[in-house]
Amino acid sequence: MWALASPKIGERQVLAAMLEIDATLVARREGILLISDKGFASKPFEKDLSQLGIELLRPSLKREKKRYGEPMLKKVRQLIESVNDTLKGQLDLEQHGGRTFEGVAVRGARRRA
């Protein structure tokens, strides 16, 4: 799944909307692991994900004890950042030339194909 969203909308709200729009995608797959940053820290949100069968892997907050799987996060996140950086360069996502939200979405989708 991917989405283009306004930076004014919170990450959790965007993900919740994506999961709501394409609920069958999640229902057809078992054992989904969502790797995120600390921005997804929320007990109610994590509970909602768990009810959908999605396990959240994120760094612990300062007030939390170390979370399961946290030691492997650094390597995985470095890999993800590397891939994102490569894609931004290949797809020119920083200089997309779209003047409207729709234009940006079309340009991004066209370059993925």
pLDDT along the chain (113 residues), means of 10: 85 89 84 86 90 89 86 82 76 61 74 59
* Contact indicator for 32, 56 with CB cutoff of 8 Å: no
Q: Report the candidate in 10, 6, 14, 1 with the shortest Cα–Cα distance to residue 104.
A: 6
Q: What is the 3-state secondary structure (H, E, C) of the chain?
A: CCCCCCCCCCHHHHHHHHHHHCHHHHHCCCCEEEECCHHHCCHHHHHHHHHCCEEEECCCCCCCCCCCCHHHHHHHHHHHHHHHHHHHHHHCCCCCCCCCHHHHHHHHHHHHC
Give CA–CA dist 84/75, Å, rounded. 14
Q: Is the entire prediction scored with pTM above 0.85? A: no
Identify the pLDDT of residue 47: 92
Instruction: Confirm if 32 and 11 have CB atoms less than 8 A apart.
Output: no
Domains of the chain, by residue range, sit at 1-64, 69-113
